[in-house]
Amino acid sequence: MTSILASAEELTGGVCCGASVAVPREASGCAMEAVRALVRRRVRDLTLIAVPQAGFQADLLIGAGCVRQVEAAAVTLGEHGSAPRFRAAVSAGTVEIRDSTCPAIHAGLQAAEKGVPFMPMRGILGSDLALHRDDWHTIENPYGENDPILLLPAITPDVSLFHAPRADREGNVWVGVNRELLTMAHASRETLVTVEAISDESLTSDVRLAAGTIPSLYVSAIAEAPRGAAPVGLPGYYDEDTSHLRRYAELAQTEEGFDRYLAEQVIAAPAPA
């Protein structure tokens, strides 16, 4: 049964040091309040899996020293520029980067949701991505001739962590058109979700809502966190806090600036207004 917990703090209380944690791209719903809770709890040695790219949440976790390894197609603050703590950590060698490409991460999760060990995929051959990924293998297509094809191992995150508009009392979570969140939930050992609101109305009894709903079967725990994606936006619900993110992008250029941001916005200010 899905646990309904009181806060993002409680929701993420079981995420252990060393866990692999999958997080979605910013447009799909970032559990920022939960990410701040992880930072406050000083979780260490996470393997962060970006589905398929990550931005502010990844930079924050990396800057705060929570991350040992990142698997991503890209880490960027988008229109606010490059992700400064990510760049610095990779150049310094304090975080290990496993460079991937967007469809490879989606395909790895799809292998996990099917319970198969790998997924074949087109493209990628001859890139330096393939050169540096010793867990990717090229085989001959057994159904063709002279047709090399890449195999990608299944990606099974210990935890998927994201934010969604709503859930119901049974733990069903509505994600609408952001269907990579379903794939993440299917593929992961545990799925932790913060939501804007938990309502009494069942999401699975209305066919119009059920199509965009993750059944509670896949959801380990939920917690209400109004504006839980802030300062990142939740498309269709609220916009990003642009001035906040711009200020972060500036402060995070230096370690001192980042520490100041952390002290002001994460450690001292547990919940944003």
Alpha-carbon torsion 216, 221, 227, 230, what sign? negative
Tokens of 271: 């919940």
Q: Does 73 bind another protein (CB under 8 A)?
A: yes
Q: Does 228 bind another protein (CB under 8 A)?
A: no
Residue 41 vs 118, nearer CB to another protein = 118
Q: Does 45 bind another protein (CB under 8 A)?
A: no
- 192: part of which helix (H) or strand (E)? strand 190-199
Phi, psi of 148 (to 5 degrees): -65, 145
Whole-Å CA distances, 136 to 48, 98, 112, 145, 184? 19, 11, 15, 21, 20
Minimum distance from residue 261 beta carbon to another protein (Å): 20
Q: Does 239 bind another protein (CB under 8 A)?
A: no
Query: Strand (E) positions, 20-121?
Result: 20-24, 46-51, 53-54, 67-72, 74-75, 96-99, 118-121
Tokens 């009392």: give the residue: 169
Burial category of 92 from C-beta neighbours within 10 Å (exposed 0-12, middle 13-18, buried 19 and up):
exposed
Q: Does 57 bind another protein (CB under 8 A)?
A: no
Residue from 12, 57, 76, 213 binding another protein (CB under 8 A): 76
Q: Does 134 bind another protein (CB under 8 A)?
A: no
Residue 176 vs 272, nearer CB to another protein = 176
Tell me the one-letter amino acid at 131: L
Q: Does 42 bind another protein (CB under 8 A)?
A: no
Q: Does 147 bind another protein (CB under 8 A)?
A: yes
Q: Does 126 bind another protein (CB under 8 A)?
A: yes
> What residues line the site for another protein (CB under 8 A)?
25, 27-28, 51-53, 72-76, 78-79, 82-83, 86-87, 90-93, 96-97, 99-104, 106-107, 110, 121-130, 132, 146-149, 177-183, 235-236
